């Protein structure tokens, strides 16, 4: 049997550790409007016992004009501390289906200084279907201290991205669906151009899991390579708004690729401007 990602943990692994000191669980559920699901409302109805909620739109830099931009290290740290999470904790992040928004928070925690962070295989949907314990009560964790150790090299800015596109010095992996990438389908956000950045490769986020289960290391390597990525060279991940790009990041880190960064503004920034190069059709 092929090896599994060292960053993905099973429900059994989580259940064995629930309630132990230094073990934190984060519900990071967030959905696009098309899903007709609301992460915060679902959390209020039921969640893994002791899990705290991470609101992508509140724990963000709201001054950028872009959706759920990466917050400052100080603000992120204060929000984690309020939720009883320390950078030294063992932290498990989950979302509803398994691999949609949870990898974004996994990535954020890691670039902010947490070293022991995982994503729950199968998500909360799988947890519930297996009959594992849930609760509706909102936990009241004891506030703690989160000491940030920010990794700016893991975040790509707009100006960085412009230089990368012009020079081709780093590979770009786009997690949006094929239709949006090729401009065969419109973007879900009004007024935004369709297509992709010159030189980008399309790796739809949905390819990396099946039925809520993250794919094996061998499968991940095949997906990444078949899309045209050279795993010996640096990669920038991107998507619609910086959320599902982290699924590619998770896949890259899982296969041992560490020279990667995430374009936080992603297509919400690039596609909304009138001074950026856009390509349509297949890459």
| Catalytic center residues | 239
Beta strands across the sheet bearing 116-120: 8-9, 116-120, 90-94, 23-27, 52-53
Question: Could you give the CA distance from residue 228 to residue 109 in angstroms, rounded to a whole number?
Answer: 29
Question: Could you give the CA distance from residue 28 to residue 68 in angstroms, rounded to a whole number?
Answer: 13
Residues counted in the chain: 283
Q: DSSP letter string over 83-145?
A: TT--TTSEEEEE-SSSSSSHHHHHHHHHHTT--EEEEETTHHHHHHHTT---B-SPP-PPP--
Q: Yes or no: say if 33 and 21 are a contact pair by the CB < 8 Å rule.
A: no
* Residue 25 CB coordination number (10 Å): 23
Show Cβ contacts of residue 16 under 8 Å, excluding neighbours closer than 6 positions: none
The token pair at 90 is 């063992």
* Residue 148 CB coordination number (10 Å): 18
Helix 217-226 vs helix 245-254: angle between axes, to the nearest 10 degrees?
Answer: 120
Query: What are the two backbone dihedrals, phi and then psi, of residue 83, each rounded to the nearest 5 degrees?
Result: -90, 10
| Burial environment of residue 215 by CB neighbours within 10 A (0 to 12, 13 to 18, 19 or more) | buried
């Amino acid at each position: 049997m092929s090896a599994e990602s060292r960053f993905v943990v099973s429900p059994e692994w989580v259940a064995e550790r629930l309630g132990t000191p230094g073990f934190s669980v984060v519900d990071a559920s967030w959905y696009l409007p098309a899903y007709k699901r609301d992460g915060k409302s679902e959390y209020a109805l039921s969640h893994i016992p002791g899990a705290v909620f991470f609101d992508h739109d509140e724990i963000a830099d709201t001054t950028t004009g872009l959706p759920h931009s990466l917050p400052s290290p100080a603000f992120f740290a204060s929000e984690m501390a309020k939720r009883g999470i320390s950078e030294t904790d063992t932290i498990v992040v989950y979302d509803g289906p398994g691999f949609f928004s949870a990898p974004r928070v996994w990535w954020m925690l890691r670039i902010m200084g947490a070293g022991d962070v995982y994503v729950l295989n199968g998500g909360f949907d799988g947890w519930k279907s297996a009959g594992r314990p849930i609760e509706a009560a909102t936990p009241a964790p004891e506030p703690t201290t989160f000491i940030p150790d920010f990794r700016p090299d893991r975040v790509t800015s707009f100006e960085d991205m412009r230089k990368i596109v012009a020079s081709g010095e780093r590979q770009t992996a786009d997690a949006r669906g094929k239709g949006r990438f090729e401009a065969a389908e419109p973007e879900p956000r009004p007024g935004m151009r369709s297509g992709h950045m010159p030189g980008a490769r399309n790796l739809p986020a949905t390819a990396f899991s099946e039925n809520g289960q993250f794919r094996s290391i061998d499968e991940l390597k095949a997906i990444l390579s078949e899309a045209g990525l050279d795993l010996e060279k640096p990669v920038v991940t991107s998507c619609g708004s910086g959320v599902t790009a982290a699924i590619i990041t998770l896949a890259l880190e899982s296969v041992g690729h560490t020279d990667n960064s995430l374009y936080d503004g992603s297509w919400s920034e690039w596609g909304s401007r009138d001074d950026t190069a856009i390509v349509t059709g297949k890459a």
